[in-house]
Copies of this chain bind each other. A is one copy, B any other.
Amino acid sequence: MSVDLNAGDAPPSSILIERVWPEIDCGRYPVKREVGDLLTVSADIFREGHDHIAAVLRYRRWQDTAWREAEMRFVDNDRWEGAFLLAENTRYTYTIDAFPDVFGTWRDEVAKKHEAGLDVASELLEGRSIVREVLARCDEADRVLIERYLQTHAEASSQVVSVRVLLDDDLLAAVNRNRSRVGASTYQRTLEVIADRERARFAAWYSMFPRSAGTDPIKSATFDDAIAQLPRIAGMGFDVLYFTPIHPIGVTDRKGPNNTLVAGPEDPGVPYAIGSAVGGHDAIEPGLGTLEDFRRLVRAANDIGLDVALDLAINASPDHPWVKDHPEWFYKRPDGTIKFAENPPKKYQDIYPINFQNDHWQELWQELKRIVMFWIEQGVFTFRVDNPHTKPTVFWEWLIREVHLTHPQVIFLSEAFTRPKVMRSLAKAGFAQSYTYFTWRNFKRELTEYLTELTTSEMKEYFRGNFFANTHDILPYILQEGGRAAFQFRAVLAATLSSVYGLYSGFEVCENTPVPGREEYLNSEKYQYKVWDWDRPGNIADYITQLNAIRRDHPALQEYENLRFFGAGDDNVICYGKMTLDRSDIIVVAVNLDPFQPHETSMTLPIDTFGIGEGDQYRADELLSGETYLWTGAVQHVRLDPHVNPAAIYSLRSWTYQEYAEPCF
């Protein structure tokens, strides 16, 4: 905490480096960006008195030892800023060095004195000495350059000339390239940034049970049936295809349709009750096909631009090979039997929870890592992790780091619907994406508050919310009650509020039959095979296709933290927008949150922020209807009818940026 006078001969640096940003929990956790981003780092950097200082941002790939440097610049009020390019999909380490700018201090002093007409003979001697000191660190070119300046300076015919030589900008540049670091202060922590691949931030997920990809309601569909679905899914514009677990399902205490306690002989069981005589987490449920079939599916998906995401559900059925091979990994009763899962008084006899802190925890953790690495070898680089909040956060932190050491492209999505701080801790530990409360945020104030927190608080540095409008576990009341219009506007909200969102299959045909009184699907695919009619009347597949196309066409919608809310007169209408930094893409969205009645209202747009003057005309292309409007001023009118246009997505272009040939009027 303080200086030790016996610690060494050099005096402690008196430069302070404070409030470095971004920095999460005092550097305990990394921040997140994507490949190609500039990471801007700022800090308060200052020292006593008025001497000049300089600062550099030091950075390196996390597995390198050599540091690179980027110069930091003074911004204002002792705040400094620097940036470096995240050129690769890896993690980077960064910190800050600051040191006295001896030559800068000298230049400032001598210039002021010289200007005031004072004799600076003594100061010029000091200046020569500062410049000379630099020579030892110079390359040949700088050495020659600097020596030429010193020579010219020595031969100067007057003090005026002599001052001018030492204050020359080219000399300054050469000195700064080789300047002394004596008196340097290094920030006390090294920080980390994960540079994920772009799909960590920008992707549309489609979630499905592969066993329901077929046409026979009493038989498992196969991976080949799933392959047949790929064009339809890719055609709607999705980027990631996520499968519920594909592993062998336990037989003991298998659940029947609608979660009944006793399964019939033909009932397939819950895919989350993983493990049977056929194998565990590295095996495939025989009804789906073989490992080779799966690899073919992954290749076929990749070929049309789809990533395949697997479910990582660390559950074991009583029939999992671990139960026999590693009983020490489970919780035991006093009589030595293994405990099944419970939420007293509820019992889940078909699931054995894992004890992550058993005496042989290292073997367990290594086995779990082995399983992830196994699927990576099959071409899977995305994992949706089931209930990560019931396993230690430190385990996830360890696992994700281990995987990223060799496979930085792997993306983990945290399926944690739990308390806010637990959800945040998983994101901080390394999950690239997280499920969110969006699924239950329906109205204007709650959406605005939640999204403002996600995209403007510290969370934006590490938590990327993947907005699922439904999941196989959750059929929200808004979809049960609101019908087709609700499906449409919830899709618009998910796809435009966040840059990464997801739908669970059936959404496109507006499936919304619940278990009465609950937010769950009746006859859920979790417990039975299902056959889907994708052309069902009233389906919104075209609408979703259009939405995904709009997202791909508009870079503004591909960013996460650029969301801003705008005023709208009616509480049922929410209005917001996204803009690229260079203002080349400006999107404004208006959504009628009432699925029953039309609403019309005014929107107040920040046209000044958009670079549009108060009296300027600008063009608004409504992308869902194809209508184009010519607008002037901040306040615009919108009418949204749930049965016609529950939402509007405008692309704005300042008229002054238009080419004359544009056929808009």
Contacts and interface: CB of A to CB of B under 8 A. Distances in A.
Interface of A: 1-3, 5-6, 9, 11-14, 16, 18-19, 25-28, 44, 46-50, 77-78, 109, 112-113, 115-116, 118, 122, 125-126, 129, 183, 188-189, 192, 333-335, 342-345, 356-359, 361-362, 365-366, 389-395, 397-398, 401, 419-422, 425
Given A5-B365, A335-B122, A398-B3, A116 B49 contact: no
Contact of A422 (B19, B48, B334): B48
A122 B333 contact: yes
A393 B386 CA distance: 50
A539 B562 CA distance: 61
Contacts of A395: 3, 14
B394 A14 contact: yes
Contacts of A49: 389-390
Quick one: which of A11, A77, A358 has the most chain B CB within 10 A?
Answer: A11
A16 B361 CA distance: 19
A422 B46 contact: yes
A356 B2 contact: no
A163 B389 CA distance: 31
Contacts of A46: 419, 421-422, 425
Contacts of A398: 2-3, 5
Given A5-B362, A28-B1, A392 B113 contact: no
A545 to B, nearest CB: 39
A610 to B, nearest CB: 31
Contacts of A18: 25, 421, 425
A118 B345 contact: yes
Contacts of A11: 356-358, 361
Contact of A394 (B3, B27, B115): B3
B78 A48 contact: no
Given A5-B366, A122-B334, A422-B78, A393 B16 contact: yes
B335 A78 contact: no
A19 B126 CA distance: 49
Given A1-B28, A3-B397, A126-B334, 17 more contacts: A1-B192, A2-B401, A3-B394, A3-B395, A6-B362, A9-B359, A11-B358, A12-B392, A16-B393, A16-B425, A18-B425, A26-B189, A48-B391, A113-B344, A115-B345, A116-B344, A118-B344
A88 to B, nearest CB: 20
A174 to B, nearest CB: 22
A357 B14 contact: yes
A190 to B, nearest CB: 9
A62 to B, nearest CB: 10
A28 B392 CA distance: 29
Nearest to A339: B122
A414 to B, nearest CB: 12
Nearest to A26: B26
Nearest to A335: B122
A365 B14 CA distance: 14
A188 B420 CA distance: 22
A529 to B, nearest CB: 32
Given A333-B122, A356-B11, A361-B11, A48 B393 contact: yes
A131 B393 CA distance: 29
11 contacts: A3-B398, A5-B365, A9-B359, A11-B358, A16-B425, A19-B25, A77-B420, A77-B421, A78-B419, A118-B345, A122-B334
A556 to B, nearest CB: 33
A422 B79 CA distance: 12
A28 B188 contact: yes
A146 to B, nearest CB: 19
A334 B125 contact: yes
Given A356-B14, A362-B5, A421 B48 contact: no
A349 to B, nearest CB: 13
Contacts of A13: 394
Contacts of A5: 362, 365-366, 398
Contacts of A50: 343
